[in-house]
Amino acid sequence: MSLMIGDNLVVSMHYTLTDDEGTVIDSSAGGEPMSYLHGSGTIIPGLEKELVGKVTGAKVKVTVEPEEAYGEVEPELIQTVERGLFQGVDTIEAGMTFQAQGPDGSVQRITVKAVEGDEVTIDGNHPLAGVVLHFDVEIVGVREATPEEIDHGHVH
C-alpha cells in the first residue's frame, strides 16, 4: 500500500513551473527530484494543498494564484534610493539582485529595476510576486519522515 501525501511525510517530485505565457521558470527535469517535508511550509501553500492525498506515480497539474504563492506586488516595496547606499559596488544595472538588511534585521532580496544618474529604483517584492504559477508535477516517492527531519522541519 503506497502512502498518501500528508503531514510529516517526505515527498519527492519532479516538476516544471511555468507562468501564464508558458515560459519555464524552474524545472527539475534532467536533475534530481525535489524533496520536501509536507506540512513544514517549505513549499508554497497553494501547491502543498493540492498534493495532499496523492501517491507515488501521480501526475498533477496545479495552478496557484499569487495569494497562495509569493503574494501580490506591494507597491511600497518599490522605491528610489541614492546610489551611495550601494557601497563598494562599482557597476549597478537593472536586473541585478542584492541582499539588504531590513529595519528589523531580516534579510531581504532586492532587485534593481532602473538606474538614472545617482538614483536607483529597487524592488523588494519576490521576483514571482503577482505571478500566476503553473506546476506540472510527478510524484516519484512518498515516505515517512525520520524523527530528526520532523524535529528540524526539513528533509535530510
Contact yes or no for 93/102 (Cβ under 8 A): no
Q: CA 41, CA 78: separation in Å to the nearest integer? A: 27
Same domain assignment for residues 94 and 140: no
Domain span including residue 91: 75-123
Average pLDDT, the chain: 94
Please give the pLDDT value at position 150: 93
**pLDDT, tens only, 67-84:** 999 999 999 999 999 999
Rounded average pLDDT over 30-47: 95
User: What CATH code is carried by the domain that includes residue 14?
Assistant: 3.10.50.40
Task: Quote the pLDDT of residue 1.
Answer: 66
Same domain flag for 133 and 84: no
Backbone angles phi, psi at 6, to 5 degrees: -165, 180
Task: Answer whether residue 147 is part of any domain.
Answer: yes
What is the number of other CB atoms lying within 10 angstroms of the CB of residue 35?
17
Q: Taking Cα atoms as reference points, which of 128, 156, 131, 137 lies closest to residue 29?
A: 137
Total-model pTM: 0.83
Domain total of the chain: 2
Interior/surface letters 14-25, b for 16+ CB within 10 angstroms, e for the rest = bbbbbeeeeeee
* 13 and 58 belong to one structural domain: yes
Is 63 found in the same domain as 29? yes
95 and 133 within one domain: no
Q: What are 79-123's pLDDT values in tens digits?
A: 999 999 888 888 999 999 998 877 788 888 899 999 999 999 999
Domain co-membership, 132 together with 119: no
Question: By C-alpha distance, which of 142, 139, 137, 138 is closest to 2?
Answer: 142
Kindly state the average pLDDT of the residues 116-141: 96
**pLDDT score recorded for residue 13:** 97
